[in-house]
Structure 1
Amino acid sequence: MNNFLIKNVCVPGLDLDEAHIVIKDGRYDTIMPAVSNEALIFTQNWEEDNKKAVDGRGWTIFPTFTDIHTHLDKAFTYEQVPNYSGTLREAITNYQSALPSFTEEAMMERMRRLMDRAVSYGTGRMRTHINAGEDKAGNIALQAASKIKEEYRGILDLQIIAMVGNMSQPLTKNIELQDVLLSNNIDGIGGAPHLSESCNEEIDDLFAFASSRDLLIDLHADEQDDPEVRSICHIIKQVKKYDYQKKTTAGHLCSLSAMEEEAAFSIIDEMIQEQIYAVTLPAANLCLQGRDDKKNVRRGTTRVTSFLKKEAVIAVGSDNVNDPFHPFGDGDMLLTALIAAYANHLTSQKDISRLFQMITTKPAEIFGQTNHIQEGEKADFVLIEGKGEIELLSVQSGGRKVYRNSRWVSERQETISVWKKGNIYA
């Protein structure tokens, strides 16, 4: 379906109540006010010529979502791998203990479950962190993700970040593990070096290997309440050393919120200068952080408003879904955005507009793509039941229609209904 007209849709960011959008050859050809004389004449002629038209019925159109940080390998494992204390440390320990019991087939089935849900909610791109290690059991997830990546190509584009750490020898010297990583079609290298006793050395090793293979760097950074945990400072040094601007992403950054404002602002300014991308993971960090606080319990998320005020590139990710790190969620980035709004005081109209950028255009930029609703751009969008950003966040409608690569790839049924007198059971 390359050429068609979408009538009566709400386009946030444009000074229009409703718009008509013409799609030609899979691109946005024309965007016009729905109430204009031009639109009236155009639609009459279009329909008289028996061309294809879709009535948007006032639904809101967005670029497809990009979930820039998730963990496909761990999704839907909570029943198998509980977390009794709710802490990050127990989640890591319990998952590592359970990992040898997982089969590749079962893991792929869970990955499909999350990806299918994500697509149905409007996600077009996803970056997943996958545990990789020196033993066979540790690399089942990597093999599964590599196969899933090909299976969903063109429907949900997947980037794989191999998470490595606590190895018997540095990755730059571990030829066998290098072969495993590169044979599984990875896009980047990651890890959580702040949890290692040799944090700086691990960061050095990861950058050295990634730069030798032109791979992305995407690290879990400072997912701690301790203000003295600052692995991001050494990450910044390595970005400078290897000229890894716009190729490095730091997720979590929780300790920024625990330290004094002056110190945090200095780090954020350096990240902006070196063009290091930031990702906040509100759902998981609200669950995991601040558990040892006896008063003034911290939210645990990074300084999102500070990043926004300084116009840094920061995105929101879903992180963990129904696993020992975070027992809830189902892959809907609209729900994740609502959690981010609550966690970070994003309630002004300007902040809410920025929030939607943090699940659409900003993470797409981190992914290495552009995705905007404007004339000439590739048509890649989700139609969401409801009108405008406030209503979408408030109602959390499940009604979605997703268009990618010149075809409709998913449709969820409408969920908003209005009670009418007599419309009840006797």
Structure 2
Amino acid sequence: MDLLLRNAVLLGTDHPVDVLVAGGTVAAIGADLPAPDGEHEVEDLGGRLVTPPLVEPHIHLDAVLTVGQPRQNETGSLFEGIAVWAERVKTLTPDDVAARAREVMTWQLAWGVQSVRSHVDVCDPDLRALAGLKQVREEFAGLVDLQLVAFPQQGVYGFAGGADLMRRAVEEGCDVVGGIPHYELTREDGVASVQYVFDLAQEYDRLIDIHCDETDDDHARFVEVMAAETIKRGMTGRVTASHTTAMGSYNAAYAYRLVNNIKRAGLHMVTNPLDNSVLQGRFDVGPVRRGQTRVKELVAAGLNVAIGHDSVMDPWYPLGVGDPLQSAFVMAHYGQMSGASELEYLLEMVTTNPAKALGVDSGGIRVGGPADLVVFDAPTATDAVRRISPRWLVMRGGEVVARTAPATTTVTTPAGTREVTFLRP
């Protein structure tokens, strides 16, 4: 059935328009569109913000909802988290992984997420996590597009048989090849692991997404290796560097040169403010570093920078509900992106920017484009971020797949009882 959405405020605009959805596509956009002939529905959005689908470019679905299993991370540190996960991974089964991932992907869909890239630990001779996530990928096909990254949590060369397991994971269905060079035993092994990832990706025609320099150590400099390999192999647009938190500790001269080489390579960059705001800077006694990459400099250089959630209730991050807008809210503070244009840009960093990194539709809401969209219970991008607003409605292929009825708050004062919306009158 055709659906006419009236009074929609599209991202990047400040005036309401009507959006006609027909046959799974956006048929028309304009002011006061006439109702279509035949059977149809009309929904007045009342000036609410409408954006393209949210995209999750970096999460570990195999680990979600394992917080406290088999024990709590009492220090909250990266290193204790790794130790706890090493214990929990021994009890993984495909069904266990699928059940937890299925739950969180349902949460993500409620928030308007329609494309997800999940790293999956392949340091397991039985590839149990991969089997579970492949099952979920099939279940959600056509509703949420799930990309799986072959991720060597213990290293390509630091884990016995790691290289062979990576190849098997790609052959058995991983869409993307990952790595973790700063976790390898030596600098030389780290460089070799990056080169192996590129070799494997070229051999099997896969995208690349590497956990790179996720450390406070300013001697961790593997993103330069990624940029060099991308340039030499002509793989611009196919490579993503995730985390790169060490970049925040580099000296200014080196960082300037590096940013220019990243730009030359055309790397996609993913920052994960939720996890890295609590995991980095653990050796600092004051001032404590923020532990993030140079987001503003990368954006100013014209690079594609996206925001990832990374974890949902796992040994590294005990919080989260799978909502990219929470990550964007933290980024506004953590990255000092509180300027007027920056606050609006945060919405692009969880929609069109990560879509480019994943290679999925990033054209936004347009006539002839897919009727995949998200309606926020907020009139502007800034209000959506400020209030971490619920998603009023989520559409995929012209079908409503999620709705949220936001809570109503009333307050009684000497002046009487009235509703409070937390919006400026």
Give the TM-score of the pair, scaled to structure 1. 0.91
Query: Which residue matches 2:334?
Result: 343
Letter of the 1:384 partner, please give it: F
Q: Secondary structure at the match of 1:366?
A: helix
Q: Which residue of 1 aligns with 2:177?
A: 189
RMSD: 1.9
**Residue 23 (structure 2) aligns with:** 25
Match of 2:297 among 296, 306, 312: 306
Query: Retained in 1: the 8 A contact 2:122–2:150?
Result: yes
Match of 1:7 in 2: 6
Identity value in percent = 26
Match of 2:67 among 55, 63, 78: 78
8 Å CA contact retained: 1:47, 1:53: no
Question: Post-superposition shift, 1:297?
Answer: 0.9
Cross-structure match for 1:277: 268
2:350 paired residue among 346, 355, 359: 359
8 A contact 1:397–1:415 mirrored in 2: no
Q: Deviations over 1:224-265 (max 9, x none)?
A: 111111111111222123222111100001111111122112
Aligned 8 A contact 1:134 1:167 in 2: no
Deviation at 1:51, TM superposition (A): 3.1
1:155 equivalenced with 2:147 (yes/no) = no
1:273-422 pair list within 5 angstroms: 273-371=264-362, 372-419=364-411, 421-422=416-417
- AA matched with 1:23: V
Determine the structure 2 residue equivalent to 1:112: 102
Q: Counterpart in 2 of 1:36? A: none
Q: Give, in angstroms, the shift of residue 323 of structure 1.
A: 0.8
Change (3 A) 1:51 1:98: closer
- Cα deviation for residue 168 of structure 1 reads 2.8
Q: Is the 8 A contact 2:96 2:132 kept in 1?
A: no
- Distance in 1, matches of 2:10 and 2:99, equals 36
Q: Which residue of 2 aligns with 1:264?
A: 255
The secondary structure found in structure 2 opposite 1:223 is coil
Q: How far, CA to CA, are the matches of 1:357 and 1:177 in structure 2?
A: 32
Single out whichever of 82-91 and 55-64 deviates more from structure 2: 82-91
Separation (CA, whole Å) in 1 of partners of 2:169 and 2:386: 45
Contact 1:120 1:400 in 2 (8 A): no
Q: Which amino acid in 2 is paired with 1:220?
A: H
Q: Distance in 2 between matches of 1:335 and 1:416?
A: 21
CA distance 1:125–1:345, change in 2 (3 Å) = same
Trace 1:100-249 onto structure 2 (pairs within 5 A). Answer: 100-136=90-126, 139-164=127-152, 165=155, 166-169=158-161, 171=163, 174=164, 178-183=167-172, 185-197=173-185, 198-249=189-240
The 1-side partners of 2:418 and 2:356 are apart by 47
Equivalent positions of 1:60-99 (< 5 A) are 60-80=49-69, 81-99=71-89
Q: 1:195 to 1:61 in 2, by over 3 A?
A: same
Whether the 8 Å contact between 1:82 and 1:323 is mirrored in structure 2 is no
The Cα shift of 1:67 comes to 0.4
Give the C-alpha shift of residue 422 in structure 1.
Answer: 4.8
Question: Do the aligned residues in 1 keep the contact of 2:344 with 2:382 (CA within 8 Å)?
Answer: no
Distance in 2 between residues matched to 1:284 and 1:377, nearest whole Å = 34
TM-score, normalised via structure 2 length: 0.91
Provide the C-alpha distance between the structure 1 equivalents of 2:166 and 2:238, rounded to a whole number of angstroms.
Answer: 22
Task: Output the CA distance in 2 between the equivalents of 1:168 and 1:377.
Answer: 47
- 1:215 & 1:379 partners in 2: Cα distance? 28
Alignment deviations for residues 107-142 of structure 1 (CA, whole Å, 9 cap, x no partner): 211101110000001101000000002522xx1110
Q: Distance in 2 between matches of 1:177 and 1:278?
A: 23
Structure 1 match to 2:423: none
Contact kept in structure 1, 2:376 and 2:391, CA below 8 Å: yes
Letter aligned with residue 106 of structure 1: D
SS of aligned partner of 2:262: helix
In the aligned structure 2, how far is the partner of 1:47 from the partner of 1:191?
A: 51
* Contact persistence 1:68–1:315 (CA under 8 A): yes
Does the C-alpha gap of structure 1 residues 416 and 306 become closer, same or farther in structure 2, counting only changes over 3 Å?
farther
* 3-state SS of 1:59 partner: strand
How big is the shift at 1:97?
Answer: 2.1
Question: 5+ unaligned residues in a row in structure 2: which ranges?
Answer: 420-425
- CA 1:268–1:150 in structure 2 vs 1: closer, same or farther (change >3 Å)? same
Q: Provide the C-alpha distance between the structure 1 equivalents of 2:386 and 2:168, rounded to a whole number of angstroms.
A: 48
- Aligned-residue offset at 1:49: 6.1
Three-state SS of the structure 1 residue aligned to 2:384 is helix
Conservation of the 8 A alpha-carbon contact between 1:397 and 1:416: no
Change (3 A) 1:24 1:268: same
Partner AA of 2:218 in structure 1: P
Q: Provide structure 1 residue ranges, at least 5 long, that are not aligned to the other structure.
A: 34-38
Deviation (angstroms), 1:380? 0.9
CA contact (8 A) 1:353 1:389 kept: yes
Q: CA separation of 1:50/1:156 partners in 2, compared to 1, >3 Å: closer, same or farther?
A: closer
Q: CA deviation at 1:154?
A: 1.0
What one-letter code is carried by the residue in structure 2 that aligns with 1:383?
Answer: V
- CA offsets, 1:286-338, max 9 Å, x none? 01001111112111111111111111111000001111111110101111110
Worse overlay, 272-281 or 78-87: 78-87
Q: CA deviation at 1:57?
A: 2.1
Does the Cα contact within 8 Å between 1:218 and 1:249 map onto a contact in 2? yes
Amino acid of the structure 2 residue aligned with 1:61: V
How big is the shift at 1:17? 2.3
Q: Compared with structure 1, are the counterparts of its residues 345 and 422 closer, same or farther at alpha carbon in structure 2 (3 Å cutoff)?
A: closer
- Distance in 1, matches of 2:311 and 2:232, equals 32
